[in-house]
A = this chain, B = another copy of it.
Amino acid sequence: MSATDDLVANNAVFAESFAKDASRKPAPKVAVLACMDARLDPVQVLGLREGDAHVIRNAGGVATEDAIRSLVISQRLLGTEEIVLIHHTDCAMTTFRDEEVRAAIEHDTGARLPFELEAFRDVEEDLRESMATIMANPFIPCTDHVRGFVYDVDTGRLREVS
C-alpha cells in the first residue's frame, strides 16, 4: 500500500457522510494565497466552510505569475474581491539559496532548471513583496482588501503584517 492508497481509503469514509453545501462562487468573496506547507491548513486556520474561499497555494505562498493567473480568474470570472496572503514561521523557503539548489539540480540532471525557485531570506519581507506585486498588478481589479499574515506554526496564530 502506498501513502496515496491510504488517502483514497480516507476519501471513501469522507464521501459516506458528504453533504453538498456550496456553489462555485465563494460566498464571502475571498481568495487566499498561502504556502503549501503541510502544517498550514488555510481552511482550519481561517475557519473556512465549504464554498467560502478560493485557496491558492505554492511553495512559499509567493505571488508568482501563476498565483496572479489564479487571482485574475478568481476575481474576474468568479467575483472574489478580497485577498488574504499567508506566509508562515519556520518556512523551508528560508533554509536554502536558489543558486545552491539550482547548481545541485544541474549536477544531478545535466540540465539547467528553467525557472527560479523563489527562496527568500526573510518571511515578512517576502510577504510584503508579494502584497506589493498583487497591488501593482494591472489585471487584478480589486486591490482594496489585500492583507498579509504570518502564520505561527507553533501557536496556530496569524500575525498581520502591514
- Which B residues are in CB contact (< 8 Å) with A149? 8
Residues of chain A in range 106-162 having any CB-CB distance to chain B below 8 Å: 108-109, 111, 113-118, 138-139, 141, 145, 147, 149, 153-158, 160
> Do the beta carbons of B115 and A101 come within 8 Å of each other?
no
- Encode A1-31 as 1/0 by CB contact (under 8 A) with B: 0111011101111110010101111101111
The reply to whether the CB of A105 lies closer than 8 angstroms to some CB of chain B is yes
Interface size class of A (residues with CB under 8 A): 35 or more
- Which B residues are in CB contact (< 8 Å) with A108? 141
User: How long is the Cα–Cα vector from A65 to B65 in the complex, in angstroms?
Assistant: 10
> Do the beta carbons of B59 and A37 come within 8 Å of each other?
no
> Do the beta carbons of B69 and A14 come within 8 Å of each other?
no
Number of copies: 2
Decide yes or no: A78 and B92 within 8 Å by CB, A7-B47, A111-B139 being known contacts: yes
Scoring A8, A36, A78 by chain B CB atoms within 10 A of each residue's CB, the highest score goes to A36
- Encode A39-61 as 1/0 by CB contact (under 8 A) with B: 10101111110111111111100
> Do the beta carbons of B11 and A46 come within 8 Å of each other?
yes
- Which B residues are in CB contact (< 8 Å) with A8? 149, 158, 160
User: How long is the Cα–Cα vector from A18 to B56 in the complex, in angstroms?
Assistant: 23
Other than the given A3-B28, A24-B90, 9 more pairs (CB < 8 A) read A4-B145, A8-B160, A11-B47, A14-B46, A36-B74, A41-B43, A43-B44, A54-B59, A109-B138
